[in-house]
Amino acid sequence: RFCDTARRGYAAACSVAAAGITGLALTRTPAAGSVAVLLAAGALPLTRSFGTVWVNSHTVDDTRATVHSLLAQAEYAGKIACGLTVAAVAGHVGPLLALTGCAALLMLAIVIVQRSGTPPP
């Protein structure tokens, strides 16, 4: 089914992004850091695309725009809150732990998405 493909794609994009962020946290060379950034920066926008596909497959025309708007607002609020938190963590304990926490959050997203069953049509 189409929504199962979107869910698997979302999980795969989160996995690749988490690998990139972990690589950035652990890298010792500028070249490896650049590759890690490209990996994460290429995968993270895909999560939004797969999320859009998933929402479109689960909503009706009358509510689809509202759901997308609410999801976007939740995403922006999360970026602000998590960004401030990551900055605070990095300021207190360093970027290694902050980036590792970011990768862990992506792995948590994978678990949540994989456990969210698709309701029957």
Chain segment 15-53, per-residue pLDDT in tens:
999 999 999 999 999 999 999 999 999 999 998 888 888
Query: What's the pLDDT score for residue 4?
Result: 81
Question: How does pLDDT run across 81-103, given as a tens digit for each residue?
Answer: 989 999 999 999 999 999 999 99
Query: What's the pLDDT score for residue 114?
Result: 84
CB neighbour list of residue 73: distance below 8 Å, 6 or more residues apart: none
Query: What's the pLDDT score for residue 48?
Result: 87
C-alpha 58/C-alpha 51 separation (Å) is: 11
Band the pLDDT of 62: cuts 50, 70, 90.
Answer: confident
Query: What's the pLDDT score for residue 77?
Result: 93
User: Which of left, alpha, beta for 17 (phi over 0: left; psi -120 to 50: alpha)?
Assistant: alpha
Instruction: Tell if the pTM clears 0.85, that is, is over it.
Output: no
Q: Is the pLDDT of residue 58 over 90?
A: no
Write out 95-116 in H/E/C secondary structure. HHHHHHHHHHHHHHHHHHHHHC
